[in-house]
């Protein structure tokens, strides 16, 4: 690239953007960079919480990939969970957001109701779900018995437990729903009016107006759901402790066990980096292909502000 072109592409060099993003830059150096580097160093060591540390090179990574069946098992559980949870989470949130976007009386109450689960803290959440899923006395199987079917042993049957975790996780979709709702609200009403006048049917309005206009928020929920699915820990840890028979033993739980139960910090750090790379790769892939379907009204394509 010639000097002339480079100069022309930054014709108004400015400090302003850097000032705006400086809080995050500083925060990154204070609170993130150090721990990241530290954990990378840890991953190359046999690193007990206390006691002698020994440099072992890539051995932790090698053990993980070649000698540890639990690594693959927990990765499999996590991928299965993510593959089901992420699409369901977005689809249901979208459905609820669209429902709430219809002007009816009492939306404030409905919105609060949908958000309610997000307000309840972890300890209580688990108590509630244990009661719901209890085989003989749970609310869920009671409801199923009213419908004339016998419910499964949700948390006790390895074939059902992952589904039980997915349902419990979906219960907290209030946040995603609100994000999409806010996105729906920012779509100019004129677009729909124009479509209605030209006789465009409702489904086509959804497909050609709502979804493209909402795409920045859909991208956001897609990526953040993906990340949270891979980091899924709390619900499974408290509800099933990874069981029965490790059917809900998530990757993040295996990391947690290595760090806080087995005190094998080096191995936990190595696993964390593997997980980090997996999520990063997936997210980058999503971002790369998002250009094809995400539509930004206010994208800075040319010089922008500055």
Partner 1 sequence: MVRTLTYGALIFFSALFIAPFLWTLLTAVKSEAELVAWPPVFWPEEWRWSNFPESWAKQPFGTYLWNSTTVVVLSTIGQVFSSSLVAFGFARFRFPCRDPLFVLLLATMMIPWDVKMIPLYMEFNLLGWINTLKPLIIPAWFGEAFFIFLLRQYIMTVPMEIDEAARMDGANAWQLYWRIHLPLMVPGLVLVGTFHFMNAWNDYLGPLIFLNDQSKYTLPLGLGLFQGRYDIDNIAIAAITVILCLPPLVLFFFVQRYIMDNALGSSVKG
Partner 2 sequence: MKTTRRALLSATLLALAIPSASFAQDKVLRFATWNTDPASIAINQAIATKFEEANPGVKVQIELYGDGFDDKLTAAMGAGDAPDLMYMWNFPAYKDALLPIDDLVARDAAEMNLDDIPAGLMNISKIDGKTYAMPIGFTTQVVFYNKDMFAAAGVAEPAAGWTWADLRAAAAKFRNAETKTYGFAVDAKPDPFDFEQFFWSNGTKYISDDGKTLEGYMNSPEAAEVLDMFADMIKTEEAVALNIGDDTPGSSLFKAGQIAMFQSAMWSKTGIDESGINYGVAPLPAFGDKPVHSVIGASGLSISKDAKDVELAWSFVKFFSTPEAVEMRTNDLPIRTSVADKLGLAADPITKPFFDMLAVSNRETNAFLKNPNWGQIQANLALAIEATMVDQGNAKAHLDEAVANSARFLN
| Site pattern 104..123 for partner 1 (x: CB under 8 A) | x--xxxxxxxxxxxxxxxxx
Query: Residues 82 to 141: which contact partner 2 by CB under 8 A?
Result: 130, 133-137
Residue 48 burial by Cβ neighbours in a 10 Å radius (0-12, 13-18, 19+): middle
Length of the chain (residues) = 306
Which of 34, 87, 158, 201 is close enough to bind partner 1 by CB under 8 A? 34
Instruction: Determine if 155 is a binding residue for partner 2 (CB under 8 A).
Output: yes
> Is the previous residue joined to 244 through a cis bond, with omega within 30 degrees of 0?
yes
Q: Which partner in partner 2, partner 1, none is near 67 (CB below 5 to 8 A by kind)?
A: partner 2
Helix (H, G, I), strand (E, B) or coil at 54: strand
Residue closer to partner 2 (CB basis): 155 or 274 = 155
What does residue 298 show for φ and ψ, rounded to 5 degrees? -115, 45
Residue closer to partner 2 (CB basis): 59 or 290 = 59
Residue closer to partner 1 (CB basis): 70 or 219 = 219
Distance of alpha carbon 304 from alpha carbon 26, whole angstroms: 24
Which of 29, 55, 142, 260 is close enough to bind partner 2 by CB under 8 A? 260
Which of 78, 93, 248, 272 is close enough to bind partner 1 by CB under 8 A? 272
> What 8-state DSSP symbol labels residue 119?
G
Residue closer to partner 1 (CB basis): 61 or 276 = 276
Region of 65-73, 89-97, 104-112, 169-177 interacting with partner 2 (CB under 8 A)? 65-73
Distance of alpha carbon 117 from alpha carbon 126, whole angstroms: 12
Which of 1, 4, 19, 146 is close enough to bind partner 1 by CB under 8 A? 19
Q: How many chain residues are in contact with partner 1, going by CB under 8 A?
A: 104
Residue 16 burial by Cβ neighbours in a 10 Å radius (0-12, 13-18, 19+): exposed
Cβ–Cβ contacts within 10 Å for residue 89, how many? 24
Query: Residues 168 to 197: which contact partner 1 by CB under 8 A?
Result: 171, 174-175, 178-179, 181-183, 185-191
> Tokens standing for 60?
């932790």
> What 8-state DSSP symbol labels residue 46?
E
Helix (H, G, I), strand (E, B) or coil at 99: helix
Distance of alpha carbon 239 from alpha carbon 166, whole angstroms: 12
> Tokens standing for 226?
């993906």
Region of 57-65, 80-88, 241-249, 278-286 interacting with partner 1 (CB under 8 A)? 278-286
Which of 43, 93, 153, 176 is close enough to bind partner 2 by CB under 8 A? 153
* Contact footprint for partner 2 (CB under 8 A): 48-52, 63, 67-70, 130, 133-137, 153-158, 241, 243-246, 257, 259-265
């Amino acid at each position: 690239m010639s000097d002339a072109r480079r100069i022309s592409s930054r014709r108004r060099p400015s400090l302003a953007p850097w000032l705006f993003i400086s809080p995050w830059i500083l925060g990154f150096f204070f609170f993130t960079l150090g721990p990241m580097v530290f954990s990378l160093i840890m991953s190359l060591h046999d690193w007990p919480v206390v006691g002698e540390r020994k440099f072992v090179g890539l051995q932790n990574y090698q053990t993980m990939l070649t000698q540890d069946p639990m690594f693959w098992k927990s990765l499999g559980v996590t991928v299965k969970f993510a593959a089901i949870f992420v699409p369901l989470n977005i689809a249901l949130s979208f459905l609820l957001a669209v429902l709430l976007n219809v002007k009816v009386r009492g939306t404030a109450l409905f919105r609060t109701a949908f958000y309610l689960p997000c307000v309840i803290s972890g300890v209580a959440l688990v108590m509630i779900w244990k009661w719901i899923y209890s085989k003989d006395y749970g609310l869920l199987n009671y409801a199923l018995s009213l419908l004339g079917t016998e419910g499964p042993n949700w948390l006790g049957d390895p074939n059902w437990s992952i589904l039980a975790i997915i349902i419990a996780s979906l219960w907290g979709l209030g946040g995603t729903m609100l994000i999409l709702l806010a996105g729906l609200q920012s779509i100019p009403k004129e677009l729909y009016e124009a479509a209605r006048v030209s006789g465009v049917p409702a489904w086509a309005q959804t497909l050609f107006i709502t979804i493209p206009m909402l795409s920045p928020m859909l991208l956001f929920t897609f990526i953040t759901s993906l990340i949270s699915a891979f980091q899924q820990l709390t619900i499974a840890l408290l509800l099933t402790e990874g069981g029965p028979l490790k059917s809900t033993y998530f990757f993040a739980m295996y990391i947690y066990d290595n760090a806080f139960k087995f005190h094998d910090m080096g191995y936990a750090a190595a696993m964390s980096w593997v997980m980090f790379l997996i999520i990063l790769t997936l997210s980058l892939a999503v971002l790369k292909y998002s250009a094809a379907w995400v539509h930004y009204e206010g994208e800075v394509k040319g010089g922008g502000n500055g």
